[in-house]
């Protein structure tokens, strides 16, 4: 068992400015070693102002450096160092990624893990305690597999991919490069399929397919992605999936689509690229959702949706029509009262 540890990252203001393409205002030699919310900042930390409602904390914050918008103007005399950028949120995200990569750069195989001799392991891989990897699987270089992960037979795991504790990856799954799968998620479980026999018994439909996850995909905690009955359940490049999402058998999700928490997608539905699906939405099976479709939260999609459409409601229909209809719906008690009064006067 071999592990490499790294010293805490320390950056001077001018170095931070180079990373985020910003301009230093103040002491460019100020040193930081951590990131913090502006209201909780301390000496040696860096914070940012991405929302004007937090501007009130800039004077009281003890953060050594604050990233602000180029147009930011304070009504107080500031002594702390500022770094001015085009977009503070984007700049801080770069630093979050930088610090996260530094803290997670572990290498080595824990002695309590169980890895079959036939498994191919790339350079600089980390496997945490009590993880299992079964025969004929492949782990790409620089990938990090944390504690209590199960990887079945003939699984392909790409390079620079992170698998957090407790993830279960069933046999024959394929996961690309630069992916992140969070704790508790199950990849490749059986789809939900049963047929009634002549006696009324539910007979299980055997699923012989797999799951393919392309590069740069992130899947949140406690999600399930079922394998296909035949062929593959497919999640394409750049898809981002929140926690507690169910992706059923033979579903296909297009490039760079974003899916919020508690969404359920039934079997054999195809979702296009660059879609946005709000939390708690449900999508029926065997549907075709076009590109750049927006499904508002808690909507129930029960028919095909063409590209460049926004829908809402249960069942979901055009967003603008829904809003117009809702105006009448919320006024329905008043309308009915007036109708009843009118009815009484005419009878």
Q: What is the pLDDT of residue 341?
A: 83
State residue 169 phi and psi, 5-degree precision. Answer: -120, 110
Compute the distance between CA of residue 32 and CA of residue 46 in angstroms, rounded to an integer: 6
Strand partners, 175: 157, 213
Give yes or no on whether 11-103 and 108-322 have one common fold.
Answer: no
State residue 177 phi and psi, 5-degree precision. Answer: -85, 150
Catalytic residue, chosen from 4, 182, 207, 249, is 249
**292's tokens:** 């750049």
Q: What is the pLDDT of residue 1?
A: 44
Compute the distance between CA of residue 295 and CA of residue 322 in angstroms, rounded to an integer: 12
User: What are the CA-CA distances from residue 187 to residues 100, 119, 172, 201, 232 (Å)?
Assistant: 25, 19, 10, 28, 12
**73's tokens:** 């103007």
Q: What is the pLDDT of residue 141?
A: 97
**CATH, range 108-322:** 2.160.10.10
Instruction: Tell me which CATH homologous superfamily contains domain 11-103.
Output: MurE/MurF, N-terminal domain (3.40.1390.10)
**57's tokens:** 């904390």
Q: What is the pLDDT of residue 338?
A: 83
pTM value is 0.79
Q: What is the pLDDT of residue 6?
A: 41
pLDDT, tens digit only, all 347 positions of the chain? 444 434 468 899 999 999 999 999 999 999 999 999 999 999 999 999 999 899 889 888 999 999 999 999 877 777 889 999 999 999 999 999 888 776 567 899 999 999 999 999 999 999 999 999 999 999 999 999 999 999 999 999 999 999 999 999 999 999 999 999 999 999 999 999 999 999 999 999 999 999 999 999 999 999 999 999 999 999 999 999 999 999 999 999 999 999 999 999 999 999 999 999 999 999 999 999 999 999 999 999 999 999 999 999 999 989 888 888 877 778 888 888 888 888 888 87
Is beta strand 168-169 parallel, antiparallel or unpaired with respect to 186-189? parallel
Residue with tokens 């479980």: 189
Secondary structure of the chain as H, E, C letters: CCCCCCCCCCEEHHHHHHHHCCEEECCCCCEECEECCHHHCCCCEEEECCCHHHHHHCCCCCCCEEEEECCCCCCCCCCCEEEEECCHHHHHHHHHHHHHHHHCCCCEECCCCEECCCCEECCCCEECCCCEECCCCEECCCCEECCCCEECCCCEECCCCEECCCCEECCCCEECCCCEECCCCEEEECCCCEEECCCCCEEECCCCCEEEECCCCEECCCCEEECCCCCEEEECCCCEECCCCEECCCCEECCCCEECCCCEECCCCEECCCCEECCCCEECCCCEECCCCEECCCCEECCCECCCCEEECCCCEEHHHHHHHHHHHHCHHHHHHHHHHHHHHHC
**Burial category of 107 from C-beta neighbours within 10 Å (exposed 0-12, middle 13-18, buried 19 and up):** middle
Where along the chain do its domains lie?
A: 11-103, 108-322
Strand partners, 47: 66
Residue with tokens 């195809």: 270
Contact criterion met (CB below 8 Å) for 126 and 141: no
207 an active-site residue?
Answer: no
Compute the distance between CA of residue 152 and CA of residue 139 in angstroms, rounded to an integer: 12
């Amino acid at each position: 068992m071999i592990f490499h540890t790294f010293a805490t990252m320390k950056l001077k203001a001018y170095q931070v400015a180079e990373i985020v393409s910003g301009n230093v205002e103040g002491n460019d030699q100020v040193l930081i070693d951590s990131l913090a919310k502006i209201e909780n900042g301390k000496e040696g930390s860096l914070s940012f102002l991405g929302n004007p409602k937090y501007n009130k904390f800039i004077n009281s914050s003890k953060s050594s450096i604050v990233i602000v918008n180029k147009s930011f103007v304070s009504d107080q005399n500031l002594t702390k160092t500022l770094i001015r950028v085009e977009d503070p949120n984007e700049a801080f995200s770069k630093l979050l990624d930088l610090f996260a990569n530094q803290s997670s750069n572990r290498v080595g195989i824990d002695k309590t893990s169980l890895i079959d001799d036939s498994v191919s392991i790339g350079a600089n891989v980390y496997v945490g305690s009590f993880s299992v990897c079964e025969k004929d699987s492949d782990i790409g270089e620089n990938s990090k597999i944390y504690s209590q992960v199960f990887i079945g037979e003939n699984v392909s795991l790409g390079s620079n991919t992170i698998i957090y504790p407790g993830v279960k990856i069933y046999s024959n799954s394929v996961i690309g490069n630069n992916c992140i799968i969070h704790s508790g998620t199950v990849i490749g479980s059986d789809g939900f399929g049963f047929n009634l026999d002549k006696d009324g018994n539910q007979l299980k439909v055997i699923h012989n397919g797999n799951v393919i996850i392309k590069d740069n995909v992130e899947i949140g905690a406690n999600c399930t992605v079922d394998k296909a009955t035949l062929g593959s359940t497919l999640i394409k490049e750049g898809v981002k999936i929140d926690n507690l999402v169910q992706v059923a058998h033979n579903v296909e999700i297009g490039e760079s689509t974003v899916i919020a928490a508690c969404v359920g997608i039934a079997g054999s539905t195809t979702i296009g690229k660059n879609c946005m699906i709000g939390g708690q939405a449900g999508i029926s099976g065997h549907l075709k959702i076009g590109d750049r479709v927006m499904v508002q939260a808690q909507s129930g999609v029960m028919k095909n949706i063409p590209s460049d459409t926004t829908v809402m409601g249960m069942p979901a229909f055009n967003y603008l029509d829904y809003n117009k209809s809702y105006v009448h719906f919320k006024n329905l008690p008043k309308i009915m009262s007036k109708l009843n009064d009118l009815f009484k006067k005419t009878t």
